């Protein structure tokens, strides 16, 4: 059995693959043999120290696999069950692990485990953004940054399937067709165009009711300018760096804007909430309304390369680690 660990924060070079020994699962725990491990941008935040963790630490927030052993009191899962999970405690970057049952969901037979391994963090994020943080309505127009990214590919398809028009932004021309393929009605290359001007043009000067922004520092202030009166600015990531302190009188007050900084830990706190989100996600994927195409597979010993590829924007779709 092997697992990725870090002893300190820093670049991809600090990632270590170690041999591990696991104890038997305790109450409310199971032993999982991983089939596929999701690769997410948030993993680089944990490694770099942007999101501080107690060190040394494992990495990886999501995976799929097969249950190999259950704790003494576990009755809702059995040996051989196909499962997936997302969330803390970290440790998905491993061949095997002990994990609490409260974060685990059973994977339907019509969902491939390799797909499930990369689906949970991004898919559950799309769910809570669309249904909980700002519940979208049919006929609305929304703005989503990094529409060709992992969360974007899922959320834009999902929004499109429920009658929501998505304006998506991308950072290069080659990603325009990708964003359109995954549900965007309008796509703006923000490296060439002023996305605020384009959004206001597309919405006839009205603006949008909500902006979903996983980019962070580079897009925040101009995103607020895209919002209509009493619009909602949702900042759920920092791909371009953490936000500067917000000048509330200048940025939020003039239009009475709402600002939200959500995370999965706040919106998916219980097994009931996780199962609600996962069921909705699996239904969309199983029905073909959300299509998932794995862009690249890495081996566990290639995680340093995987992180370098993530941070250099070489990964333009869901990627998995195959242990």
> What pLDDT sits at residue 80?
98
Number of domains, the chain: 2
**Does residue 221 contact residue 147 with C-beta atoms inside 8 Å?**
no
Full domain range(s) for residue 113: 2-120+270-279+292-322
> What pLDDT sits at residue 169?
96
- Does residue 285 lie within any of the structural domains? no
Instruction: Encode pLDDT of 164-219 as tens digits.
Output: 999 999 989 989 999 999 999 999 999 899 999 999 999 999 999 999 998 878 78
Shared domain check, 144 and 97: no
Shared domain check, 109 and 196: no
Shared domain check, 274 and 224: no
Instruction: Using DSSP, state whether 296 is helix, strand or coil.
Output: strand
Nearest to 88 by CA among 269, 241, 237: 269
> What pLDDT sits at residue 149?
86
**Distance, CA of 233 to CA of 221 (rounded, Å):** 10
> What pLDDT sits at residue 239?
66
**What are the φ/ψ torsions at residue 170 (nearest 5 degrees)?**
-140, 165
Mean pLDDT of 291-297: 92
């Amino acid at each position: 059995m092997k697992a990725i660990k870090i002893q300190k924060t820093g670049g991809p070079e600090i990632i270590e693959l170690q041999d591990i020994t696991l104890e038997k699962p305790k109450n409310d725990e199971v032993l999982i043999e991983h089939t596929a491990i999701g690769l997410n941008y948030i993993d680089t935040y944990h490694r770099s120290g942007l999101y501080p963790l107690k060190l040394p630490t494992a990495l990886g927030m999501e995976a799929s696999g097969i249950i190999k052993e259950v704790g003494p009191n576990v009755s809702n899962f059995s040996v051989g069950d196909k499962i997936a999970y997302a969330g803390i405690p970290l440790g998905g970057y491993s061949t095997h692990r002990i994990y609490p049952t409260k974060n685990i969901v059973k994977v339907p037979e019509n969902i491939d485990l390799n797909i499930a391994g990369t689906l949970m963090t991004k898919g559950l994020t799309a769910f809570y953004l669309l249904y909980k943080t700002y519940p979208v309505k049919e006929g609305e127009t929304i703005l989503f940054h990094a529409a060709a990214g992992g969360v974007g590919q899922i959320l834009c398809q999902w929004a499109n399937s429920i009658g929501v028009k998505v304006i998506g932004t991308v950072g290069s021309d080659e990603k325009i067709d990708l964003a359109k393929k995954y549900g965007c009605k309008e796509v703006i290359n923000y490296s060439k165009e002023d996305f605020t001007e384009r959004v206001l043009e597309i919405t006839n000067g009205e603006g949008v009711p909500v902006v979903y922004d996983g980019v962070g520092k580079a897009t925040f202030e101009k995103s607020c300018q895209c919002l209509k009166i009493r619009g909602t600015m949702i900042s759920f990531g920092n791909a371009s760096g953490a936000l500067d302190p917000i000048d509330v009188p200048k940025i939020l007050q003039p239009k009475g804007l709402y600002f939200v900084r959500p995370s999965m830990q706040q919106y998916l706190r219980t097994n009931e909430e996780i199962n609600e989100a996962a069921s909705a996600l699996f239904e969309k994927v199983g029905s073909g309304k959300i299509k998932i195409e794995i862009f690249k597979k890495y081996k566990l010993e290639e995680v340093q390369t995987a992180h370098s590829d993530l941070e250099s924007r070489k990964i333009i779709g869901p990627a998995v680690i195959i242990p």
